[in-house]
Amino acid sequence: MMWTQLLLTCVAVASMGVQSHDVNTTVEKLEDIEKDLKVIKETLGNCQNDPEENRRQLHLGESWKNPAWSCDEIAERKVDKESGWHWIQSCKNCDSRLTYCDFDRELMGRKNWIRALHLNMSDPQQPCPSSSFRLVTQDGLRLCGRSNGPGCKSVIANTNNLPYQRVCGRATMFRYHTTDGFERYEYCPGCTIEDPYIDGLSITYGYSGRRKHVWSFAIHGSDCSVDAKPNFVGKNYFCNGAVSHHHDELYSHDPLFTDQWFCVQLPQPTTERLEMRLCSDQDVDNEDALFQLVELYVQ
């Protein structure tokens, strides 16, 4: 059936070329079709010669016994690919692991991203990530904040030990009480990236004691321009402020960073852990940064 359709396509294209008297265009189209037929013939020949390989390609990534090397491999080899959970094996002697491949979202001009973290508190079935966080419900919102403080509460993204060099992400957040972005860093000259340098969300990679900065979401009261930003943050940050006359309440009608995406290319590929930290230098009764949505993608 496939060959019949291809031959009919050839005849149809040739007919169009003759009717339009555009011989050169017709020849070019026929040459392109000839190339496509050659690729199909080679592929069919490989499948016929190795039926086991054929079965592998049809069900690539669908079980731990038949993992793909990457989301890119699935995208290249499977016509009916769908975004979702797939089994990926990063090296020959590595265990295969379930990994979420997103084939539809385009970031940095690329597709086929690994979704390393997805926390959507708008979903009533989504819990806060651990006991280090508390669930806050108010005005129809479900949010996560720190369980106690001061300090940072951490979530490790699920990169499955796969190498990555690009990180993209977004967050929707809300302010509680007196958050002041990077301002407290000005009064803590000895503080580093390991400390609660921010009232907000910190994205880093690397292990404790040698974290490296990716992006910061700083939540200020009003004016972000007065902040003394740490040198390690550079230009990799968003700063936003919620304005309200009620400084003892959750600013529930003022979502922050909505639809603001960041994308960063790291200096070199890494398999180091990717981490989200929710930070503040005061106790949760005084101030907090609450998240409704956090997503991180790597490639």
The model's pLDDT over 237-281, given as tens digits with 9 standing for 90+, comes to 999 876 654 555 888 889 999 989 999 999 999 999 999 999 998
Percent of the chain with pLDDT over 90: 53
Q: Are 199 and 184 in contact (CB under 8 A)?
A: yes
Pairing of strands 141-146, 262-270: unpaired
Question: Please, what is the Cα angle at 240 between 234 and 244, to 5 degrees?
Answer: 155
Average confidence (pLDDT) over 195-205: 95
The pLDDT tens digits of the residues spanning 220-238 come to 876 676 567 888 999 999 9
* Residue 19 binned pLDDT confidence (cut-offs 50, 70, 90): very low
Is residue 17 pLDDT above 60, yes or no? no
**Which segment of 24-33, 55-64, 168-177, 196-205 scores lowest on mean pLDDT?**
24-33
The pLDDT tens digits of the residues spanning 59-68 come to 888 888 889 9
Average confidence (pLDDT) over 19-42: 56
Two structure tokens written together for 171: 């967050």
Q: What is the pLDDT of residue 16?
A: 45
How far are the Cα atoms of 37, 120, 281, 294 from residue 260, in angstroms, in the given order?
Answer: 45, 16, 25, 11
The pLDDT tens digits of the residues spanning 97-133 come to 899 999 999 999 999 999 999 999 999 999 999 999 9
In 3D space, the residue among 42, 162, 149, 170 whose CA is nearest the CA of residue 105 turns out to be: 170
Q: What is the pLDDT of residue 190?
A: 80
| Residue 181 DSSP class | T
pLDDT, the chain, mean: 83
Q: For the beta carbon of residue 178, count every other beta carbon within 10 angstroms.
A: 14
Q: Are 236 and 262 in contact (CB under 8 A)?
A: yes
Two structure tokens written together for 265: 């290319």
Two structure tokens written together for 59: 């069900």
Q: Are 201 and 291 in contact (CB under 8 A)?
A: yes
Q: Are 264 and 215 in contact (CB under 8 A)?
A: yes
Q: What is the pLDDT of residue 49?
A: 52
Q: What is the pLDDT of residue 52?
A: 56
Q: Are 289 and 224 in contact (CB under 8 A)?
A: no
Two structure tokens written together for 84: 């979702």
The pLDDT tens digits of the residues spanning 143-176 come to 999 999 899 999 999 998 899 999 999 999 999 9
Place of tokens 């958050």: 179
In terms of Cβ atoms closer than 10 Å to its own Cβ (0-12, 13-18, 19+), residue 266 is: middle
Cα 113 from Cα 90, distance rounded (Å): 15
Cα 175 from Cα 219, distance rounded (Å): 7
Helix (H, G, I), strand (E, B) or coil at 146: strand
Q: Which amino acid is at 69?
A: W
Helix (H, G, I), strand (E, B) or coil at 71: helix
Q: Are 139 and 249 in contact (CB under 8 A)?
A: no
Is residue 136 pLDDT above 50, yes or no? yes
Average confidence (pLDDT) over 67-73: 91
Average confidence (pLDDT) over 207-218: 96
Element (H, E) at 100: strand 97-102
